[in-house]
Structure 1
Amino acid sequence: MEATERARLDAYFGRIASRFAPAERPAAFLITHLLPERPSFVRGVAEVTDLRAVLPKPKSVHTEALRKVEGSGHACDELSREMFVDPDRAVRYIEARAAGRAVVLLDVGGYFAPSLEALCDRFSGRILGVVEDTENGHRRYGALDKLPCPVVSVARSPLKDPEDYLVGQSVVFSTEALMRSRGDSLHGRTALVVGFGKLGSSIARLLHAKGVRVTVYDIDPVRRTQALSQGFTVARALPNGLEGAGLVLCATGALSLRGEDFGLLRNGAYVATVTSSEDELELSGLADVYERAHSGPHITRYLTTGHYFYLLNGGNAVNFLHGASVGPFIFLVQAEILAAAAVLADGGLEPGMHEVGPTDRAAIATTWLDYFNR
């Protein structure tokens, strides 16, 4: 990022932070993809909150971005799912960084969900609430029997629509780039898109535009009807879609393929995902059946007697291989995260799922247009 671009981005987040600055800054923990432009967002979070720790998602850490964040004096702690699965461990961690404080948790993917009740009950301070960025995380919090605090989700915000569309583009770009590295092409291929939400529908449309014959499968019958209305073939069941697909793109944010599903793939099929392998794919048992071999940069061949397929980027989000860039549109979502943190800091929300209001979203969009509609 050039110095002028960085200065513009810092000014943008400074303006957003000044608009939404709460009366009292709460402590905050930030889970984030630490990509090259992310230090400016981290600085914005630090203006709205007292940022106690940044927890970079482990498979999307840019070395220079990490250096800049740490150089700004922010602690960067190692993140794993296990860290917040054990309630005792989760409470100890938050206590160590923010004992007795009012705390906002900024999440990407529902990491805090398994221990949220324990944190609200046992933490010496007070958990003001959670801000969640992704559909996967939205569902994880929504699945809890009873939310012990407010969760402000930006996952379904209209400000996120441009990001979802462009992430779909980056997924298709990276998938095709890896296939081409083996002399293969998307054109003329058959593909199965598992999941027809915002990302999956974007991916399906982009694949179709590239001459790919696309079949869709989604567990939600409403989404299956939507896919049919847009002209896609819809598989009645997942095995039906897998058997003929030369490319499988998993876009559910949840478990898409179980161990037994891989045996249904046609020989030479490629498998790619839009999120981490621990969320989308059940890979643990494959080592007992398949031999793995390197088959090109970021391509793993799984081979057993009479059957083989290719897994892209180890089953992790394929678009992060090429920066996962969606341009300045990501700053709309990040600004809404700052606004959501300020809403939680000001209090007044009951436990449950919430969204940022339309007036605040309009203000964010207006500010964004001032800086990036050039």
Structure 2
Amino acid sequence: MDQLAVNRPADRASPATIVTEPSVRSRIEQYFLTINNAFPATRDVASIVITHMLPDRPYFLDGVARGADLISVLPKPRSCDPDTRAAVSSRYQCDDLDRDRFTHTGKVLAYVEERAAGRDLVLLDIGGYFAPALTSLCRQFSGRIVGVIEDTENGYRKYLSCGKLPCPVFSVARSPLKQPEDYLVGQSIVFSTESLLRAHGDILHGRETCVIGYGKIGRSVANTLRAKSVRTTVYETDPVRAVEAMSHGFAVKWSKAEALGRADVVVCATGNRALDGEDFTYLRPGSYVASVTSSDDELNLASLRGAYRVDRLGPHLSRMTSWNHHFYLLNDGNAVNFVHGAAVGPFIFLIQGEILAALALLSSGRVMEPGLHEVGNREREIIARSWLRCFNEE
């Protein structure tokens, strides 16, 4: 939304902060200790971590620090709880995640040199930030890029598009251990969307909804909406996923203009520009637009500059108005569930455990071929069993 002039009210809501009871905190700490013990660090490596700075994250960062020298944390700015950042900053180096920096290879290299010159280094990524500069980093960095660990599907695609990768890149995006998180993220998207509508005096029931994208999260969003008896249509360009959506009982539209024109609420779940340019003009006047990820990835808001005026109606609701059209944008086009902390409970620790397992594999000294890698089923079973022992006690 920085590209558009916004009329803002004075009041701004601060992100929610989760208070963890001592007994729960002890259980989480024990889980991460168990994972670190199952996948111990075997040699000295450094790590730089890009992450959502949410209240559950310090436990994970402590786990990273036990597996590698955690020399820098880069919080994603649109999912950064200020209290959590303050707590993490008291223990680890926190730097601002400047998107402009990561579009210039020279700036990325200068930053990595400043923090980790001469070190063996593992990069923990969310969203493929290091992908454009990775080849240059591997060639020019004074130390050695041991490998990358990528969390998200969007980031996985960015590394995949690099072609021949210069180092090992572990992805957890398609892990079975991520499926519980994806399912619950879809539910949290619907919860936050409805909460923001209610804050505007509106509700989902009686509305027509459209989910753009029937991937892992889009599927969960659509099914959650249907479970709430909300009429839902799917727009999906992948014919295999479109068939799947139809087999699950959803109406599937082949025309984006038709799908958008009849929807009162549109949930964008592609991770790759669901709405761009004239797509916004297809939106039904007065409709709401929600996203499951960053606006930079999901929406081309820059294409609205000069054509739409932005009026802030509340902390997380904006009215977008042109001379003959208007719609409402939730949370500036960013992931709506971050308004409420993006909470998915302890299930988030499953995939964080897999990231720690990947970190141990990269730091083991084993020779790994450059390219895409995944953690094996044996490691996943250890993580799932450890999680069950900590969070499913009878």
Pairing partner for 2:39 from 20, 23, 42: 20
Pairing partner for 1:62 from 81, 87, 98: 81
Counting only pairs closer than 5 Å after superposition, residues 1-374 of structure 1 correspond to structure 2 as: 1-72=20-91, 74-346=92-364, 347-374=366-393
Runs of 4+ in 1 over 4 A off after TM superposition: none
Partners of 1:81 and 1:57 lie apart in 2 by 9
Deviates most, 308-317 or 250-259? 250-259
Deviates most, 234-243 or 199-208? 234-243
- 1:85, CA displacement in angstroms? 1.8
SS of equivalent residue, structure 2 residue 234: strand
Partners of 2:98 and 2:158 lie apart in 1 by 16
Partners of 2:278 and 2:66 lie apart in 1 by 48
Which blocks of at least 5 consecutive residues in structure 2 are unaligned? 1-19
**2:290 partner amino acid:** A
How big is each residue's C-alpha offset from its partner over 1:224-275, in whole Å with a ceiling of 9 and x where there is no partner? 1111111111111322211111111011111110021111111110000011
- 1:4, CA displacement in angstroms? 2.2
TM-score, normalised by the number of residues in structure 2: 0.93
SS of equivalent residue, structure 1 residue 295: strand
Deviates most, 277-286 or 157-166? 277-286
How big is each residue's C-alpha offset from its partner over 1:185-206, in whole Å with a ceiling of 9 and x where there is no partner? 1112111111111100000001
> Quick one: higher RCO (CA 8 Å, sep 6+), 1 or 2?
2
Deviates most, 349-358 or 282-291? 282-291
**1:38 partner amino acid:** R
- 1:330, CA displacement in angstroms? 0.3
CA RMSD in angstroms comes to 1.1
**1:110 partner amino acid:** G
SS of equivalent residue, structure 1 residue 285: helix
Q: When the two structures are aligned, how many residues end up with a matched partner?
A: 373
Percent of paired sites with the same residue: 55
SS of equivalent residue, structure 1 residue 320: helix
Partners of 2:389 and 2:381 lie apart in 1 by 12
Partners of 2:55 and 2:22 lie apart in 1 by 13
How big is each residue's C-alpha offset from its partner over 1:10-39, in whole Å with a ceiling of 9 and x where there is no partner? 121111112111310311010111111111
**2:358 partner amino acid:** A
SS of equivalent residue, structure 2 residue 63: helix
**2:270 partner amino acid:** T
How big is each residue's C-alpha offset from its partner over 1:282-325, in whole Å with a ceiling of 9 and x where there is no partner? 11131311121122331100112331100000001100001110
